[in-house]
Structure 1
Amino acid sequence: MNTLLYPTCFPNIVHFCAMLKADVLNFEVSDNYQKQSYRNRVEIYGANGKLALTVPVSYSQKNRQYYKDVKIANEEQWQQLHLKSLLSAYSMSPFFEFYIDDLMPLFETQFDYILDFNLKCFELLVDAMELDLKPNLTETFSKSPENTTDYRALVKRNTKVKVLEPYTQVFTEKHGFISNLSILDLLFNEGPNTALYLKRQDIVLI
């Protein structure tokens, strides 16, 4: 199965389910950038419930830009903020210390473009989980690609998906199970069981 998705910032769980089920994985990188999406947003489970972290970008809706050309606004020191938030949210999770060192280059290296950061996120996550996923990058944009399972809608924050199988989260007792957070939530809580969990899930848009 040919599958087409957007590379996103610390992809959510359904994104990774779709990647893992693909026979041929394709990343859409030839489109115009759009705001209000998971391209630069990650959702984790903080002490007060769902917490959104955003990578600030320099982008104007008036002047269309390709996804690959959108720059990160690094003057906002966002990497330090994201790392502190992850420490606060997951330092007590079972596998945080096991994986965080593998991901540190994302917080210690300056990235100029959001696409480059997202592709590096994917690369380091796949390495940490020991998955064999090698995406192709699109060279042209097609609104209706043939012979392809098009999951590009998953990049939109208002796309609804079926609630996933519950697993134990750090703050479950306070706020209950929160479905389809960033893959980081699953990885830090389930560790080596992450890939098995992903394979069990069905992708159902509602």
Structure 2
Amino acid sequence: MMNEGFLKIIRWVLVALGIMLLLAIIVLIFTRPNSQSGSGSSNGDQNKPINLQDFRENGSMKLVQNGRVTAPENHFRVVITISNSTRTIDIYNGYNTPPTTSQSYSNNQASFDAFLGALTGNGFTNSQPIPSGINYQTYCTAGIRYSYQILAGDIMKMDNWNSSCNPKNGSFAGNSTQVQQLFRLQIPDYNQLTSRVRL
């Protein structure tokens, strides 16, 4: 027959194991990801790396160059949008106004595939956490803010940004100089169309 001291030890061990199991269950419940909250994809794949090849047939790549905050007469925004069928540049003068200049060019799948490959090689989809206290609306208002976007139809799939003040302060983590140049080179009349634009 087991002595009473040994039975007490067994009881305390079982109680301790029960408490540990209960704590583990509580931790799992409160740390489980909630598929109904947060932004991004509703399918729970918002943290998956973006593959530009997924957008080669129905996607558009966009660069938005938003000029410094000034009087409406002096504020400019230049938007370049590239898809497998069209290349478009829209130039805006002022705030919440229609484009003052818009020019479109045809495109084809082979050209778009080459463009996507170049964007991939320059980290177009790379992102990073934004430093505390920095946001698009209030940062670098005396410089140029750049948005790097992917659209599937009308649905925004990526919207990262940085600025001319410090390219490292923003959510975009690719080679901004090369990516911006790749977009501009898609518009053959870019220099002529933007000759009077003061970003």
* TM-score, shorter chain, exceeding 0.5: no
Q: Which has the higher strand share?
A: 2
Q: Which has the larger radius of gyration?
A: 2
Alignment TM class, shorter chain as reference: under 0.3
TM-score, normalised to structure 1, is 0.24
| Larger RCO (CA within 8 A; separation ≥ 6) | 1
TM-score, normalised to structure 2, is 0.25
